[in-house]
Structure 1
């Protein structure tokens, strides 16, 4: 019996943790992608709110589909079989469950579409929200892990710094 199966049998919460880890991983991917797209749109100057909203929606949908297809293909390669219904449900949950990570940018852009905010303000607020989301996702990932206070600070600080690095790189590329 494989080590993984023995661990699952001995520790039934391993599967739950693995699914939670997969969801968090996909949220990080999607958040970084959303951050890069939003900063790029903001750096290009004036963009209509409807264009920004549709660009973000298409990008997010494409990334979610890519993640889902990658999970299915990885499963096929690793197990030489199609995923079971349960495994497929878990793949859908981990892929599309990440959508919540971009809820605020969608809300902000909808506010810009209806004229409550400017597109510039919506994109700026989205950038801030996504950097905060990266730290929150990181916290969700490490909150139950046995780390010292300083290890937590370093892990969360590194994630925030990487988010800011994405912003900086996009500004350099489009500045």
Structure 2
């Protein structure tokens, strides 16, 4: 019977890709958090305007990442990226787009009259902060930290998210 245990190189590659995807998701959450708070405190946002801001932010981040990665590759490696490397870049950067799904769904729900738009935007911001905390907790547990230490990491990550909210609130719209 053949050994089906993945090689250490394959495991390392999977971990690197997962790390890149999570990093992109965290960057997107922090950026989107500022946009959501700006929209929520901005006075009289419209459903269409809020959705456009959220989608434009996600797409803009994604395109900026693609441009940066594809421009950096030749400098770092002395050659253009291969098709496989481009596919990997598209895969690892996709969380920049998926971060907009929750807020857009809540904005859409608000458009049906189920909740006020400002409430939908604040709930979206809250879920982004909660997601940061959950990723912090999961990371703590993954490295073998106990529940208490993992909660401390989660609280620190949530504090970073709340810091973004606080700066945005202090700066005004």
TM-score, structure 1 as length reference:
0.86
Given that 1:135 and 1:160 are in contact with CA atoms closer than 8 Å, whether structure 2 keeps it comes out as: yes
Gap regions ≥5 residues in structure 1? 1-8
In the other structure, the counterpart of 2:123 is 125
String of CA shifts for 1:57-92, please: whole Å, max 9, x gaps: 111110111112112222222111111222111110
In the other structure, the counterpart of 2:50 is 52
Secondary structure at the aligned position of 1:12 is classed as helix
- How much has 1:114 moved relative to structure 2? 3.0
Secondary structure at the aligned position of 1:11 is classed as helix
Distance in 2, Cα, partners of 1:124 & 1:172:
16
In the other structure, the counterpart of 2:11 is 13
Given that 1:138 and 1:155 are in contact with CA atoms closer than 8 Å, whether structure 2 keeps it comes out as: yes
Give the counterpart of 1:108 among 93, 106, 109. Answer: 106
Alpha carbon RMSD of aligned pairs, Å? 1.9
Distance in 2, Cα, partners of 1:97 & 1:126:
16
Distance in 2, Cα, partners of 1:77 & 1:146:
37
- How much has 1:109 moved relative to structure 2? 0.6
TM-score, structure 2 as length reference:
0.87
Distance in 2, Cα, partners of 1:33 & 1:79:
29
Given that 2:141 and 2:147 are in contact with CA atoms closer than 8 Å, whether structure 1 keeps it comes out as: no
String of CA shifts for 1:19-65, please: whole Å, max 9, x gaps: 00000000001111110000011121221111111111111110111
The answer on 1:173 being equivalent to 2:171 is yes
The answer on 1:93 being equivalent to 2:91 is yes
- How much has 1:111 moved relative to structure 2? 1.2
Give the number of equivalent residue pairs: 167
- How much has 1:139 moved relative to structure 2? 3.5
Q: Which moved more, 1:40-49 or 1:110-119?
A: 110-119
Secondary structure at the aligned position of 2:142 is classed as coil
Distance in 1, Cα, partners of 2:151 & 2:85:
34
Distance in 1, Cα, partners of 2:151 & 2:138:
13
Gap regions ≥5 residues in structure 2? 1-6
The 3 A distance-change label for structure 1 pair 10 and 137 is closer
Distance in 2, Cα, partners of 1:143 & 1:88:
32
